[in-house]
Amino acid sequence: MEGMNQNVMEGAEAVFNEGNEIGIVVLHGFTGTVQSMKPLVDAYTAHGYTMACPRLKGHGTTPYDMEGSTAEDWIRSAEEAFEWVKNRCDCVFVTGLSLGGTLSLYLASTREVDGVAVINPAIDVPDMSSLADSESRFIDAIGSDIKKEGATELAYDKTPVRSLNHLTNIMAKVHEQLSEVSAPLLVFTSEEDHVVPPENSQTIFDMVFSEGKELVPLEDSYHVATLDNDQELIIERTLEFFEKYFNAKEN
């Protein structure tokens, strides 16, 4: 499995842990790594859940590796993690940050999931779409949009323009498939986000067909909210979400 390969940045390694019958797929963001999701992974593992947090192909190594990966590769990384969990669990939830949120929604539109929780998900980022037309090979980094002093994201120091084209494609694909999402939905949105316009979350909320859905504003975090001041709120609310819909399924 790609997400389990070695020889990656320290802290960017994939995490696959077998636990109880509740399985969680956790997906990191564009140019980011598993490190940005580690607080959630640790919290879910402590609750005994089965965990899969893959390293998306081309991430956590070098920007040159990322340049050679595609949107289809990122989807495959997410699908392989989902299948790993599905083979072990009766109840499967997916959650992700930014591109990880986009991929979570993709899984929710193509697979049977019991709930999806997304954090600052991306389906329409005009700034990135315009940068994808750049004649440069690389542009400046987009990681570490964090309000909390001293907190940093383990991410690439530059962004391959070729990868931006793939990001634009997958955002458009998921945007078109939102009406296929019917699983319970929890959407976290930073009120100030310098990477993904917060309006993305409202569009997703409005377009999905989920009966149980909720928008949760994050008032004290920027884009990488999983490492920011609202980290505990995200952990607390996602744990409540998982337990609520697991119990509903069991009953």
**Least confidently predicted of 47-61, 128-142, 161-175, 183-197:** 128-142
Q: What is the pLDDT of residues 157-185, one digit of tens each?
A: 999 999 999 999 999 999 999 999 999 99
Q: How confident is the model at residue 7 (pLDDT cuts 50, 70, 90)?
A: confident
To the query of whether residue 73 is one of the catalytic residues in this protein, the response is: no
Query: 21 pLDDT exceeds 90?
Result: yes
The DSSP annotation for 123-149 comes to: S--HHHHHHTT-SSSEEE-------ST
pLDDT higher at 135 or 93: 93
pLDDT higher at 134 or 117: 117
To the query of whether residue 175 is one of the catalytic residues in this protein, the response is: no
Residue 179: burial class (beta carbons within 10 Å; 0-12, 13-18, 19+): exposed
CA distances from 35 to 28, 105, 138, 142 (A): 8, 21, 23, 16
What local confidence, expressed as pLDDT, does residue 4 receive? 44
Write down the domain spans for the chain: 2-250
**What percentage of the chain carries pLDDT values higher than 70?**
97
What local confidence, expressed as pLDDT, does residue 200 receive? 97
Query: 134 pLDDT exceeds 80?
Result: no
Q: Could you say which of 109, 145, 223, 230 is catalytic? A: 223
Query: 110 pLDDT exceeds 70?
Result: yes
What local confidence, expressed as pLDDT, does residue 251 receive? 76
Separation of alpha carbons 115 and 210, rounded Å? 9
Q: What is the pTM of this model?
A: 0.95
Cβ–Cβ under 8 Å, residues 185 and 213: yes
What local confidence, expressed as pLDDT, does residue 82 receive? 99
Cβ–Cβ under 8 Å, residues 129 and 161: no
Q: Could you say which of 98, 163, 190, 201 is catalytic? A: 98
Q: How confident is the model at residue 142 (pLDDT cuts 50, 70, 90)?
A: confident
Q: What is the mean pLDDT of the chain?
A: 94
Q: Could you say which of 145, 193, 228, 230 is catalytic? A: 193
What local confidence, expressed as pLDDT, does residue 5 receive? 46
Q: How confident is the model at residue 76 (pLDDT cuts 50, 70, 90)?
A: very high
Average pLDDT over residues 187-207: 97
Q: How confident is the model at residue 250 (pLDDT cuts 50, 70, 90)?
A: confident
To the query of whether residue 134 is one of the catalytic residues in this protein, the response is: no
Separation of alpha carbons 55 and 103, rounded Å? 13
What local confidence, expressed as pLDDT, does residue 88 receive? 98
Query: 66 pLDDT exceeds 90?
Result: yes
CATH annotation of 2-250: 3.40.50.1820
Average pLDDT over residues 118-125: 96
